[in-house]
Amino acid sequence: MNNINGILLLIGSMAAFALEDMFIKVLSVSVPTGQIMVFLGLVCALVFACLSVVTRKRIFDPVAWSLLPMVRAITEGFGAVTFVTALSLIDLSTVAAVFQAMPLAVTMGAALFLGEQVGWRRWSAIGVGFIGVLMIIRPGLDGFQPESLFVVLTVIAIAARDLITRKLDVRVASTVVAMQAYVAVALAGGLLMAVSGASFVPLQDGQSLPYLGAMGFGVIGYYGIVTAMRVGEASALMPFRYTRLVFSILAGMLMFGERPDALTMAGATLIIGSGLYTFVRERRLARELSLA
C-alpha cells in the first residue's frame, strides 16, 4: 500500500469537494437548489455510467438493483436535498464544521444497528463530538439558525448511507453505486422542484463556470477518494478527511467573506478531536484483536 500517494489523493479530493460546495453555494443565489441537483445528478450519473461501460461493469446486474442498493440511493438523495439546502441558507464554514460529525454518527449507528461493540471511551468521544455540534448550531441561543438543522439531517442521512454501504453485495461495482447515487440526486432535485413550485431558470451569463466547477470538482473529488482508498490503507488516510473543513473555511472566507466565530471554531475542534480519538481507539482495538 502506498500511503503517501493515498494521503495526497485524499487531501486533493477534500479540496475538490470544498470547491464543489463553494460553486453550489454560488449557484444557489440565482438558481433553485432543485435545479442544481437535477443538473449535477444527471451529468455525474452519465459520467459514472460511461465509466461502468468502459470498465465492463454490469450496470443492470439484478443484484445492483435489489432492495438494499435502492435504499442506499434514497438516503443519498435525501442527504443531497438537505445538504444543498443548507449550503444555500447558511455559511459554508458552518455546514462543513457540522458535517465533520458524520464519522461519529457512523460509529454510533454501527453500535446501535449493526451490533458492533463500542466501549465507554468511544461513547464518551461521540458525546463530546455532539456537544461540539451543539456549540456550532446553538439551539435556544441568540445565534441559533434553524436552517443549520438541515446539516444535522444530512449527517444522519449520509451516516445511514455509509452503514448500508457496508452491507452491499461485493459484486456491485463502485461505479454503478455512484451512478445510482447521482440518479437519486437528480430525482430528488426534480421532486424538490415539484414540491416547492420552483421553475427552471435558463442558463445566464456567469453561470457556466459555477456549473462546470461544481460538476468537475464533484467528479474529481469522488474519483480521488475512491482511488485513495485503493492505493492507501484506510486507517492511515482517515484523519486527513478533516482537511475538508480547512478548505471549506478558506473558501468561505475568500469567496463569501465569512468569519467563523470562536464558538464555531471551538465546536469544530471538539468534533475533530473526538473523531480522531475514536479513530485511534478503533485502530488500537483492531490491532489487539489481530494479535489475540
Backbone angles phi, psi at 255, to 5 degrees: -95, -35
| Averaged pLDDT for residues 8-35 | 94
Q: CA-CA distance, 64 to 60, in Å (whole number)?
A: 7
Query: ∠144-145-149 over CA atoms, to 5°?
Result: 110
Contact 164, 76 (CB under 8 A): no
Q: Which residue has the cell 485513495?
A: 228
| Averaged pLDDT for residues 35-40 | 94
Q: CA-CA distance, 117 to 52, in Å (whole number)?
A: 36
Q: CA-CA distance, 14 to 220, in Å (whole number)?
A: 10
Report the interhelical angle of 92-99 vs 120-137 (nearest 10°): 170
pLDDT over 90 (residue 142): no
Per-residue confidence (pLDDT) for residue 144, from 0 to 100: 86
Q: CA-CA distance, 89 to 5, in Å (whole number)?
A: 36
Q: CA-CA distance, 210 to 21, in Å (whole number)?
A: 10
Of the ranges 4-8, 30-34, 151-155, 182-186, which one carries the lowest mean pLDDT score?
A: 4-8
Q: What is the pTM of this model?
A: 0.88
pLDDT tens column, 160-170: 998 898 888 88
Gyration radius of the chain over CA positions: 19
Burial of residue 253 (number of CB atoms within 10 Å: 0-12, 13-18, 19+): middle
Side chain identity, residue 139: P
> What average pLDDT does the chain have?
90
Helix (H, G, I), strand (E, B), or coil: what is residue 80? helix
pLDDT over 90 (residue 258): yes
pLDDT tens column, 85-140: 999 999 999 999 999 998 889 889 988 998 888 888 889 999 999 999 999 999 88
Report the interhelical angle of 3-27 vs 208-231 (nearest 10°): 160
Contact 249, 41 (CB under 8 A): no
Backbone angles phi, psi at 171, to 5 degrees: -75, -15
Report the interhelical angle of 92-99 vs 262-291 (nearest 10°): 30
Which of residues 172 and 290 earns the better pLDDT score? 172
With bands split at pLDDT 50, 70 and 90, how would you rate the model's confidence at 174? confident
With bands split at pLDDT 50, 70 and 90, how would you rate the model's confidence at 229? confident
Helix (H, G, I), strand (E, B), or coil: what is residue 203? coil
Contact 12, 239 (CB under 8 A): no
Contact 217, 20 (CB under 8 A): yes
Closest by alpha carbon to 244, among 105, 81, 92?
92
| Averaged pLDDT for residues 246-272 | 93
Per-residue confidence (pLDDT) for residue 117, from 0 to 100: 84
| Averaged pLDDT for residues 235-262 | 89
The CA dihedral of 119, 275, 178, 202, to the nearest 10 degrees, is: 140
